[in-house]
């Protein structure tokens, strides 16, 4: 046994030794004793017979059972204080949950951050691809427009050149006809 248990045992034995019977119990015991002595004086032939062995055995068994019961009550552990145990468990769970809650918050924050970073990277990649495609299409459209403009300009220049040649030809023909007319006598009208 531990030192604390021995001290508790000694304290309880001391309490039992200080227990005093009540006045009524003392008077009853004295009256029974007097009654026994009176019977003994009135009839001297009255003798108490010794109890039979079965009665002795039964009395010993009852005394042992009572002693065992008293020892069990004295040395049994104190009953568990359910309210105190509940409060301790509640406090422990709250502190454990608070620590776990903070850890879960941190993990969720990191996960959301990773997801957002990954989403941003995917968005940038997708938008870069779309932008590149649009730029290629725009460049092709500009090139096509430039080619059409070049063809139009070339056509216009050719037309101008043709018109100029026609104008030169007409001018040349006009000058020729003017020159031929100047050589003709003035009185004739063609």
- Residue extents of the structural domains in the chain: 3-77
Question: The tokens of 171 are what?
Answer: 């001018």
Quote the CA–CA distance of 30 and 36 in Å, as a whole number. 10
Quote the CA–CA distance of 15 and 70 in Å, as a whole number. 13
Least confident of 45-59, 127-141, 142-156: 45-59
Looking at every residue in the chain, the average pLDDT score rounds to 80
CA 145 to the chain's CA centroid: 61
Mean pLDDT to the nearest integer, 129-145: 92
Q: Taking a C-beta distance cutoff of 8 angstroms, is the pair 4, 78 a contact?
A: no
pLDDT tops 70 at residue 75: yes
pLDDT band at 42 (very low <50, low <70, confident <90, very high): very low
In SS3 terms, the chain reads as CCHHHHHHHHHHHHHHHCCCCCHHHHHHHHHHHHHHHHHHHHCCCCCCCCCCHHHHHHHHHHHHHHHHHHHHHHHCCCCCCHHHHHHHHHHHHHHHHHHHHHHHHHHHHHHHHHHHHHHHHHHHHHHHHHHHHHHHHHHHHHHHHHHHHHHHHHHHHHHHHHHHHHHHHHHHHHHHHHHHHHHCCCCCCC
Mean pLDDT to the nearest integer, 85-103: 81
pLDDT tops 80 at residue 146: yes
Question: For residue 181, what are the contacts with CB-CB under 8 A and spacing of at least 6?
Answer: 190
What is the reported pLDDT for 166? 84
pLDDT band at 190 (very low <50, low <70, confident <90, very high): low
Angle, vertex CA 43, rays to CA 41 and CA 46, nearest 5: 105
pLDDT tops 80 at residue 105: yes
What is the reported pLDDT for 57? 84
pLDDT band at 43 (very low <50, low <70, confident <90, very high): very low
pLDDT band at 15 (very low <50, low <70, confident <90, very high): confident
N-term to C-term CA, the chain? 160
Mean pLDDT to the nearest integer, 86-100: 81
- More confident site: 23 or 157: 157
Angle, vertex CA 143, rays to CA 139 and CA 146, nearest 5: 140
pLDDT tops 70 at residue 186: no
């Amino acid at each position: 046994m531990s030192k604390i248990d021995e001290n508790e045992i000694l304290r309880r034995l001391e309490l039992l030794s200080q227990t005093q019977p009540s006045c009524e119990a003392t008077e009853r015991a004295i009256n029974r004793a007097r009654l026994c002595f009176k019977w003994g004086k009135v009839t001297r032939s009255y003798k108490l017979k010794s109890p039979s062995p079965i009665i002795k055995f039964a009395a010993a068994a009852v005394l042992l059972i009572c002693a065992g019961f008293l020892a069990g009550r004295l040395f049994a552990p104190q009953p568990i204080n359910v309210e105190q145990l509940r409060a301790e468990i509640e406090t422990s769970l709250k502190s454990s949950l608070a620590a776990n809650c903070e850890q879960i918050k941190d993990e969720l924050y990191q996960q959301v951050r990773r997801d957002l970073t990954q989403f941003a990277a995917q968005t940038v990649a997708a938008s870069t691809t779309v932008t590149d495609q649009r730029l290629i299409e725009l460049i092709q459209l500009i090139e096509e427009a430039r080619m059409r403009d070049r063809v139009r300009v070339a056509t216009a220049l050719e037309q101008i050149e043709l018109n100029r040649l026609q104008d030169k030809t007409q001018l040349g023909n006009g000058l020729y006809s003017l020159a031929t007319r100047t050589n003709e006598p003035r009185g004739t009208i063609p």
